[in-house]
Amino acid sequence: MAKSLEMEHPNKALGWGARDKSGVLSPLRFSRRDNGDDDVTVKILYCGVCHSDLHSLKNDWGFTHYPIIPGHEIVGVASKVGKNVTKFKEGDCVGVGVIVNSCQSCETCEQDLENYCPRVVFTYNSHDRDGTMTYGGYSDTIVVDQRFVLRFPEGLPPDAGAPLLCAGITVYSPMKYYGMTTEPGKHLGVAGLGGLGHVAVKIGKAFGLKVTVISRSQAKESEAIDRLGADSFLVTTDPQKMKAAMGTMDFIIDTVSAVHSLFPLLGLLKVNGKLVTLGLPEKPLELPIFPLVLGRKMVGGSDIGGMKETQEMLDFCGKHGITADIELIKMDEINVAMERLSRSDVKYRFVIDVANSLTQPTASI
Ligand code: NAP
Ligand code: ZN
Ligand code: ZN
């Protein structure tokens, strides 16, 4: 018989998880493995709330194992390090993102693309090397192989910096890979101004791009420009403005979390323009062929980034003072936060103050 969550590993842990596809989170006792020779145990301070957490809680993608404890934008303090650990010492401020292991020997791993390894282990809802399920950062501690732990830059606030561990690398990596960073002044459109989108605006500006936000929400216009630093704002519901902007963008990063039409976005691109899709709606999108063929345009995708590039992104954000704009919440406010996230009502990332608000429940759970 399979061991209970509390008994499968030697060390007791506490988190908030969902037991079914209602996605409602509540306290959950579970356990973490002993710190191995290559491991770092992290006392979690803050964890960002990504829309992928919400998709997973609701089983939008059809592969959620319940109970699930989400959370992959983790910043904390190294509380124990194994004897082979050279990169970190106890007391260091560290980050953990979307992946916690991979085979470490295949072609993609050797190219520092562990995120594309066929045997990648995600931070939650994934089978770990020992066959047990992984549980994420809505919890008090996590034990991670040192290769998948990041140095969190000094000078960045750990709460507002936590979303960089997923949102940050997810937009940084395609900017580099798809050639957006080599020629300052190129025009980048960012579709969807949520967690990923608002960080894309900041990183795009730091790379010297001209950035236009493409949004359904007129109410976000002044903030996008005055607070986030975008150069212009385009509301998708205004056909005249959309028409006037056709053929003006070199690149678009599409962060929209729901099913939507790619047709208007492809129309905004110049000849040879590139549309990079990052959002993960639960159903496939239609691919309009005519604008692709007639404008030699390209549609690509991208999934977070490898560990080396994630460290590079954190250091870049440290240097440029880039963090997320956050709403800091207590652990027991998470269900309200998820409901608001489902309505795109967050400016622009919820972050859970884990260390100060995750307390042992008095009743049995
Ligand atoms: P988010 O904060 O909820 O932002 C998504 C934005 O999409 C919303 O703010 C909204 O922007 C827009 N949007 C939502 N519903 C829409 C609809 N029906 N039609 C048009 N626009 C809509 O989510 P996030 O955390 O940034 O994540 C975005 C997506 O990326 C999710 O699907 C997530 O799972 C995925 N993701 C992918 C990766 C990867 O590695 N590829 C990594 C992380 C997340 P406006 O109000 O401005 O229109
Ligand atoms: Zn994420
Ligand atoms: Zn591999």
DSSP strand pairing (141-145 vs 150-151): unpaired
The pLDDT profile of the chain, 365 residues, written as one tens digit per residue, is 567 899 999 999 999 999 999 999 999 999 999 999 999 999 999 999 999 999 999 999 999 999 999 999 999 999 999 999 999 999 999 999 999 999 999 999 999 999 999 999 999 999 999 999 999 999 999 999 999 999 999 999 999 999 999 999 999 999 999 999 998 899 999 999 999 999 999 999 999 999 999 999 899 999 999 999 999 999 999 999 999 999 999 999 999 999 999 999 999 999 999 999 999 999 999 999 999 999 999 999 999 999 999 999 999 999 999 999 999 999 999 999 999 999 999 999 999 999 999 987 766 66
Q: In ligand 1, which atom is closest to the CA atom of 213?
A: 47
CA of 77 to the centre of ligand 1 (A): 29
Q: Distance between CA 40 and CA 7 in Å, rounded?
A: 21
Answer yes or no: is the C-beta of 55 below 6 A from any ligand 1 atom.
Answer: yes
Residue the block writes with tokens 């770990």:
128
158 Cβ contact list (under 8 Å, min separation 6): 45, 46, 75, 93, 152
Answer yes or no: is the C-beta of 169 below 6 A from any ligand 1 atom.
Answer: no
What 3-state DSSP class applies to 356? helix
Q: In ligand 1, which atom is closest to the CA atom of 348?
A: 2
Which of the listed residues 125, 344, 348 should we mutate to test ligand 1's pocket, taking the one with most ligand atoms within 8 A of CB? 344
Return the number of other C-beta atoms located less than 10 Å from residue 356's C-beta: 12
301, β-bridge pairs: 277
Q: What is the largest CA-CA distance in the chain?
A: 64
Residue the block writes with tokens 């970190």:
88
Answer yes or no: is the C-beta of 303 below 6 A from any ligand 1 atom.
Answer: yes
Domains detected in the chain: 11-166+324-357 (3.90.180.10), 167-301 (3.40.50.720)
* Surface-to-core class of residue 198, CB atoms within 10 Å of its CB (0-12 exposed, 13-18 middle, 19+ buried): buried
